[in-house]
Amino acid sequence: MKRLKNLQKKWLHWMGLPMLSLKKMIFMSSIKKQIQNLSEDEKFTNIYYQASNTPLSVFIDAVCDKQIDSLIIDSSKIVDVSMLPEALASLCYEFSDLCDSGTSHIWKESSKSVLRSKAYIRGMGIAIFLIQTNIKEDIEKAIEKIKVFGVEAKFPETEQEKIDLIYKIEGKIKDKKVRLMKEQSDYEKVENANPKSELPTRKYFTEIMIELRSFMGYNVREQDTTLMEFSIMLNKYNNHKKAQNG
């Protein structure tokens, strides 16, 4: 049990999370049980994950300021936060598909690979945390989660099996981090190959919005515009510029 406790401390530290008191652990357990009763579709009902209903302002907060919790629609309701990386990745993929590749190079395959790896690392880290709660339902949830990531595992019956499973997942995460370093390097090469390209910063979106307001002839507001609407306007604007340039 002590070894599991030490592992928990290490992973909570790596994930930037504090150690929880017994009272908080019990409270979190009750929340997790409510989450586990949700179907896969229901887990996304309180999370922005589609361009058609995600406000552009929310997308910008999540991407530019790393505020991934901005994807939560109603913070007063139950939400499975482990689904947030997947939701952000889904939005980025959809944005990439909606936009012309020439104007949204930041969402090319290199960017997608980085997002997938980060979601993998985060998801597997959450699985370790769930195993360390020693709650049967949480461990079963962790097993389901790692299987989604392609890792075969059975329910650990003993403390040693739990430790072995955690080390197995830890090894997978280390391997993925090595791969992520290469993917990030490839992504930087794509960016460096086009020095005139814009990075996904608030400045980038602000400048685009100013141009779109002039082009559309009305005040385009980030809060009132969905990511899909923004993509459509951006495509129209870029096609207009191409036509003007011949």
Collapsing DSSP states into helix, strand and coil, what is residue 229? helix
Of 95, 20, 115, the residue nearest 52 (C-alpha): 95
Query: In 10 A of CB 227, how many CB atoms?
Result: 24
Q: What is the pLDDT of residue 83?
A: 77
Among 135, 141, 125, which Cα is nearest to 26's? 135
Residue 221 to residues 119, 194, 206, 210, 234: CA-CA distances in angstroms? Answer: 30, 29, 11, 10, 14
Q: Are 12 and 171 in contact (CB under 8 A)?
A: no
Average pLDDT over residues 93-119: 65
Of the candidates 52, 63, 126, 67, the one whose C-alpha atom is nearest the C-alpha of residue 89 is 63
pLDDT at 194: 56
Percent of the chain whose pLDDT exceeds 70: 71
Say which residue, 87 or 23, is predicted with more confidence: 87
Q: Is the pLDDT higher at 52 or at 40?
A: 52
Instruction: Supply the pLDDT for residue 76.
Output: 78
pLDDT tens column, 147-205: 888 888 999 999 999 999 999 999 999 999 998 888 888 777 766 665 444 446 888 88
Closest Cα to residue 125, out of 82, 87, 159?
82
The Cα–Cα gap between 227 and 233 comes to: 10
For position 167, what pLDDT does the model report? 94
Least confidently predicted of 4-18, 45-59, 130-144, 169-183 = 4-18
The answer to whether 223 and 58 are in contact (CB under 8 A) is no
Q: State which residues form the domain around 158.
A: 2-245
Q: What are phi and psi of 72, to 5 degrees?
A: -75, 125
The average pLDDT across 18-47 equals: 49
Q: Letter for the amino acid at 88?
A: L
pLDDT tens track for 45-70: 788 988 999 999 999 998 888 888 89
Lowest mean pLDDT among 3-7, 62-66, 77-81, 232-236: 3-7
List the helix and strand counts (H, then E) for the chain. 9, 0
Strand partners, 72: 47
pLDDT at 18: 41
Task: Give pLDDT, residue 220.
Answer: 85
Average pLDDT over the chain reads: 76
Number of domains composing the chain: 1
DSSP character at residue 198: P
**DSSP string for residues in 61-104:** HHHHS--GGGGBS-TTS---GGGHHHHHHHHHHHHHHHS-TTT-
